[in-house]
Amino acid sequence: MLKILIVENNPTLTRLLSHFFKEEGCDIRTADDGLQAMLALEDFKPDILFTDIIMPKISGDQLCRIIRTTPELEDIFIAIYSSIALEDKEYIFDLNADLYLAKGPTTFIQKHVRHVIDQFRSGKRREYVLHGVEGLSSRTITEELLVTKRHHRTVFENLVEAVIEMDEKGLIIQANKAAQELLGLGMADLAATSLTDYLALAGPEYLQVEKWFADIAATKRKDFHSDYGRPLLIGKNQVLLKLLKITEGTGFFLIAILQDITSIKKTENRLALTLSEFNAVLESIDYGVLFMDSDLRIHIANRAFRKMWAIPDEIFDGKLTFRNILSYNRYNDIYDAAEEEFDDYVSKREWELKRGAKGPIEFHRKDGIVYEYQCVNLPDGGRMLTYFDITKHKKTEAELAEALNKVSNLANRDILTGLPNRRLFQERFFSTLSISKRKGWKAAVMFIDLDGFKAVNDSMGHEAGDKILSMVGQRLLQTVRKSDTVARIGGDEFLLLQTEVSDKAAAARLAGKIIENLSVPYELDGNEIKISASIGIAMYPADGDTSRELIKKADNAMYKAKSIGKRGCTFVAD
């Protein structure tokens, strides 16, 4: 007895097809749409799948693709019976069915049923001929609608965000390519499963998602948006989730939009760690440092600065200005300004700061303390002021020069490798940008991440790792031109600014040379250490014209290079 699964959402046709198949002695199962068919296939494997194409939920074409890519189902004989077969013949032939029938008058149904059974028993497969077209003609409006549908499908499949369509019970009907990649499964495995099956079963966010699905049919719940601060987990990926309820006639369906923010969170964590380390260094140094924005509002005043000017911690509430700081000691006999001239003195100091960098100059307090004072322009338009107490060292020019060098290195250089840090990299980027704009040059920003470096730290210790990082810095300097800038921005991550780049090929050649040089084994304490590098490349001006934008895009490209095998380079557009 042949087993037949009929997938058709027209009840009249379902009854007629069932009747004629039963007359041929067949065991019949029916499904109103592709989703019901997927559920039926879990415990009923038919000899013949007889399916329509245009259906709600999982359509017939999706169903065919799922079956043909599922090993335990791929040998099922598929007969397509569709009212759009004549207008969409080339498309449905791509579905790799075994027999194609055009829907026509119901009087032909019995003939079609016998044709399907005869062809199945003959063993003939993959016949790319459309049967049942006698008396039918192509409809222009149908062709236009099919083109529109394909356009929409192409957009859906190629969205960057992961998008999943579900029925009113929360069962997955469709998932675009990004969703399948995020979940690590194809549609054959995803169809008729629940989104919550793939979310980590932990935290209040997961419980909120469960409750949203549980309540959605009975209430008019609002759309759900997960919290950026507490992202949901799918495997090891951190995601933001948006859930929508779309009303359609008397029913509804659900849409889930997932954004993978794993790389963003990792970058934020690295930046937070860098900031924490910076603050720890800033609080431990013995000279005063004051950071302000372009309006001279105080952002950071380190411990040494607060102590120098006897300003208590509690007044730094995020609203202080440079004028407030000066006024705090107005009556403490510190400034060399008469009381009636003090407001003018403060205004002059503000004007000098807004003019820009100044110093180093000596600042003499009336109580005899002498500071060396310097104003540094920051890339964002703010100012950094440094104060050294040189009262005891006034006569020691060598110590003074060393202290100034210390400030310069702290602000601009990586302590371990001596390479420029992110701040100096940005300054050089601005300089390169200015020249490149005038002369029409291109430039490349490369984000370099070492492959295998963590294993060195884990097996040989951080001291050995630091030595390797220093060697890496030297090799990078030996590989690039003097006009290029190599910077270390933390951990095993480096940035490279390549100037006067003719085209992407030139950038790729340099990246290849860097990977080759960094992959040469390192000799350390009698050991041969092997590491390599993955590089992401962003081009100016094609990929952006700010350092932040280009660094971020190069970082994303680097992660793509890692994901496809490491020890390679990838451009933003690749």
98-154 pLDDT, tens digit per residue, is 888 887 666 778 888 898 899 899 988 888 777 876 655 554 444 445 455 555 566
Where are the strands (E) in 304-435, listed by range?
358-364, 370-377, 383-389
In this prediction, residue 88 carries a pLDDT of 58
Give the CB-side neighbour count of residue 501, counting CA atoms within 13 A.
28
Checking 357-363 for CB contacts under 8 A at 24+ apart, the result is: 360/404, 362/390, 363/387
The class that CATH gives domain 158-260 is: alpha beta
Q: Which residue has the tokens 């890496």?
A: 472
Phi, psi (deg, nearest 5) at residue 380 = -85, 10
CATH number of 265-411: 3.30.450.20
In this prediction, residue 146 carries a pLDDT of 47
Record the pTM: 0.43
User: Are 496 and 446 within 8 A, CB to CB?
Assistant: yes
Strand pairing of 48-51 and 493-501?
unpaired
Q: Where are the domains of the chain?
A: 3-142, 158-260, 265-411, 422-571
Stated as kind and residue range, the H or E segment containing 499 is strand 493-501
Q: Does domain 3-142 have CATH number 3.40.50.2300?
A: yes
In this prediction, residue 301 carries a pLDDT of 86
Any idea which fold 422-571 has? Alpha-Beta Plaits (3.30.70)
Same fold, 158-260 and 265-411: yes
Identify the segments of the chain with pLDDT beneath 50: 139-144, 146
User: Are 328 and 311 within 8 A, CB to CB?
Assistant: yes
